Structure 1
Amino acid sequence: MCDSDDEIKLSAETQAILNQFLKEKEESEKGQDVSENWNLSQFWYDESTQKAFGKICKQLLRESKLKEDMSIALLSCPSLFETINAVADNVKIFEYDERFQKYGKNFVHYDYSLGESEDYLKEFAASFDLIILDPPFLSEECLRKSFEIVKRIKKEDSKIILNTGIVQKSLALELGLSESNYKPQHKNNLGNEFGCFANFDLNKYI
């Protein structure tokens, strides 16, 4: 075997080792918890809330004619991703925080402030059957712009769930949502009471 053959063989072996290393690194990063960044107004849901939304999605999947093809969008609620991704095959996480790029093709960089731009996220127009959102700020501006994006990416008969502070109740009702009995909870207790609003009877799934 000539020297060049040795070099080719070594290169192939090195590439295999590198590929294994990168795969293990990716799996390790996926398993690591991402801490809350309060500067981004991030507050993770507690385990009971994550399980509750997993249950909701399971039941909606059972009822849906689409089954595994049911498409789900999570807007600014990354702490729900792993639970929901475990029960559904087609889940996108729309998030400003690029640490969540660890979820690979499931991640979409998202900035609610661009919601009024007609071209923003147009590649996802009329794409999702279920949309869950938790706008990062308790302001009318934030919710309205977030909802412009919801209207852009939803299908005609999409189900929408909004988690937000009760102070946003009147605006949520104006946007066509109804308050459910469910109260999302956070790992670090917030001073703001939260509510859960939807455009369908969410109470039957909780």
Structure 2
Amino acid sequence: MNFKAVIVTVSVRSITFKGNVKIYFKIIMMEDDDDVPSLSAETFAALQEFYAEQQKRQEIIDKLEGDNKLKENILFDENWQLSQFWYDEATVQALVKVIDASLADGGRVALISCPTLFVPVKRQIGERATVTLLEYDRRFEVHAPDFVFYDYNTPEKLPPDTLAAYDLVVADPPFLSEECITKTAETIKLMAKDKIIVCTGAIMKDKVQSLLGLDLCKFKPHHRNNLANEFSCYANFKLDDILS
């Protein structure tokens, strides 16, 4: 009996691991005289799931493009496994004000692991300055070409044009750990030319000050979902004066 193989280009299981999607292929065997290919129930379900995910992604892209990417701050749901906790509106507006006041025309700002800020900052200063988002969560790749994939575990893995290229770097390390702040600080040092803002837990104060020489600000970031951990803001310039 002769068989022919049909490769269905959709994963039976689509798994995202550290930003890389692993694709598995399902091979369907059938006799030569079968005119109509048939899919297993498992593969058909995977196909439906695949197209549903694609449709959802396209809807997001279409909405961003329809809004010129800037008219509405579209947020994905928080992924707690990635330690994502979005800023509340007051915090976003305060940081946008600081960033706007701190950048001259033609300046460049890098936002490391703080995707909540991207659209509001881009909307505010995008016509006169460059805004780059460095983020592990590839959902925010819809903001390309202003998106750079970033994993704090490889702090030096950066595009060449980002090195010593930013007048202001704003970072919010995703995890409250010595390893995370240490590696994120390495990235900040590689990218920053001048001003630095770090928003992180109050318990990281000593590490932030020793690694980057930043001062504790009076301004305190807050989140949409109240966190048990107290958060603080650190900077190497008089951030509070801008907000006073």
**Cα root mean square deviation, aligned:** 2.0
Which stretch shifts more, 22-31 or 193-202? 22-31
Q: Relative to structure 1, is the Cα distance of residues 39 and 28 closer, same or farther in structure 2, using a 3 angstrom cutoff?
A: farther
- Contact residue 122 and residue 153 of structure 1 kept, 8 A: no
Per the alignment, residue 44 of structure 1 pairs with 86
Residue 40 and residue 23 in structure 1: after superposition, are their counterparts in 2 closer, same or farther (change >3 A)? closer
Q: For the structure 1 residues 189 and 125, does the alpha-carbon distance in structure 2 shift closer, same or farther, using more than 3 Å as the test? A: same
Q: CA shift at 1:98, angstroms? A: 0.3
What secondary structure, in the 3-state scheme, does the structure 1 residue paired with 2:124 have? coil
Q: Quote the Cα distance in structure 2 between the aligned partners of 1:192 and 1:22.
A: 32
1:78 paired with 2:115, answer yes
Looking at structure 1, the residues matched to 216 and 196 of structure 2 have their Cα atoms a distance apart, in angstroms, of 12
Say whether the 8 Å CA contact 1:92–1:107 is kept in structure 2. yes
Correspondence for 2:135: 95
Q: Which amino acid aligns with 2:133?
A: I
**Count, aligned residues:** 177
For 2:215 and 2:235, locate their aligned partners in 1 and report how far apart those are by CA, in whole Å: 5
Match of 2:185 in 1: 147
Scaled by the length of structure 2, the TM-score of the pair is 0.68
- Work out whether residues 136 and 149 of structure 2, in 8 Å CA contact, stay in contact via their aligned partners in 1: yes
Extract structure 1 runs of 4+ deviating beyond 4 A: 28-31
Report the AA paired with residue 75 of structure 2. Answer: D
Could you say which structure has the greater relative contact order, defined with CA pairs below 8 angstroms and 6 or more residues apart?
1
Q: Provide the identity percentage.
A: 42
Deviation at 1:58, TM superposition (A): 2.1
Matched, 1:200 2:222: no
**Residue number in structure 1 paired with 2:196:** 160
Calculate the TM-score normalised by the size of structure 1.
0.80
Q: Which consecutive unaligned segments of at least 5 residues does structure 2 have? A: 1-58
Letter aligned with residue 123 of structure 1: D
Give the whole-Å Cα distance in 1 for the aligned partners of 2:86 and 2:62: 26
Please tell me whether residue 54 in structure 1 is matched to residue 96 in structure 2. yes
CA deviations on 1:178-206 (whole Å, 9 max, x unpaired) are 00001100000000000000011111111
**Contact 1:161/1:198 (8 A) holds in 2:** yes
Specify the alignment match of 2:168 in structure 1. Answer: 130
Judge conservation of contact 1:136–1:142 (CA < 8 Å) in 2.
yes
Indicate the SS of the match to 2:125: coil
Distance in 2, Cα, partners of 1:23 & 1:82: 14
Which has the larger share of helix?
1
Residue 115 of structure 2 contacts residue 135 of structure 2 at CA under 8 Å; is this kept in 1? yes
Residue ranges of structure 1 left out of the alignment (5+ in a row): 1-20
Larger Rg: 2
